[in-house]
Amino acid sequence: MLEAGVFEKVIPDSGSSFKLLTFSENELCSNPHWHFHPEYEIAYISNGVGRRQVGNHASVFSDGDLIAIGPFVPHYRFGTGGSEPYTTVAVQISQSFMNQDIFNIPELRAIHKFKKISPYGVSYSNEIKEEVGQILLKMTKSVGFQRFQLLLTVLSILSNTDSYQLLNTTAASCTVGDRESQRIKKVYQMIETNYRNQISIEQVAEELSLSVTYTCRFLKEKLFKTFSEILNEYRVSVASELLLETNKNVIEICYEVGYNNISHFNRRFKSITGVSPKEYRKLYINTKVVAPLLG
């Protein structure tokens, strides 16, 4: 079981049994923390290139995204890092809502499939993304029973399609205490702020006020990875986005994301994505497919 994340308390909208959120690019980037909550979540990003991190999975999307996650699944950000304007709509649904008897009637029984696969983290095809995205946008302009009906329609579509990809090979639900949560948050904040520079495990340990030995064990137990693996995955994730979003050459990107040796960068990139940076750009730029990061 994954143990990571900052607990986020979700309060349903006034007069509603679920919460609907709408973000612009500027609003979303102000709070991109690694967190989890007891609610199911469906998130739509209208367009653009960006990174997704759900459970143990990290990857890049190149034409917007539609993601579903189950209760207690840690996730990092839903948005893009580019300059192109975009909108994110997210709906957060309580477990008590999803466990209502109404979902046992024949017409709605298929929604149990959504409940079953969401703990793995789910990415949907572009066709489903566009269909559901339009409904979610319509929900932002609706209230009361009409909004409720639209949510049922979204759940029905997601439960009756096979056009999706599970993002984790096992359920990615987590349990974590407040102290561990704050430590993990500090690690990701340190990486996000300093990934362009050299960061040592000694610096991380000092930031956490822990010994180096305990810090290594803590990261391995809670995130199932060494600090080096976590840092390299983050750098490669940023590099992947730059390859798709900018015209910078591979050497420029290598140095921009914190590597000082192009051969080392190429090896790390290929070990995580399965292809070289040049092959990655050739495969995914100007396409509408998800560019996966392995591991």
Specify the higher pLDDT residue, 27 or 97: 97
Query: What is residue 1's predicted lDDT score, i.e. its pLDDT?
Result: 46
Which residues lie across from 87 on neighbouring strands? 24
Query: What is residue 83's predicted lDDT score, i.e. its pLDDT?
Result: 56
Q: pTM for the whole thing?
A: 0.64
Name, of 21-30, 148-157, 225-234, the range with top average pLDDT: 148-157
For 53-85, b/e burial (b = at least 16 CB within 10 A) is bbbbbbbbbbbbbbbbbbbbbbbbbbbbbbeee
Q: Residue 101 in contact with residue 95, Cβ under 8 Å?
A: no
Per residue in 89-147, pLDDT (tens digit) is 999 999 889 999 999 999 999 999 999 999 999 999 999 999 999 999 999 999 999 99
Residue 212 pLDDT > 80: yes
CA distances, 237 to each of 18, 195, 234 (Å): 32, 11, 5
Q: Residue 60 in contact with residue 237, Cβ under 8 Å?
A: yes
Q: Kindly report the average pLDDT of the chain as a whole number.
A: 85
Query: What is residue 82's predicted lDDT score, i.e. its pLDDT?
Result: 56
Query: What is residue 230's predicted lDDT score, i.e. its pLDDT?
Result: 86
- Percentage of the chain modeled with pLDDT above 70: 84
Q: Residue 56 in contact with residue 107, Cβ under 8 Å?
A: no
Q: Is 58 strand, coil or helix? A: strand
Among left, alpha and beta (phi > 0; psi -120 to 50; other), residue 111 is: alpha
Q: Residue 133 in contact with residue 67, Cβ under 8 Å?
A: no
Residue 12 pLDDT > 70: yes
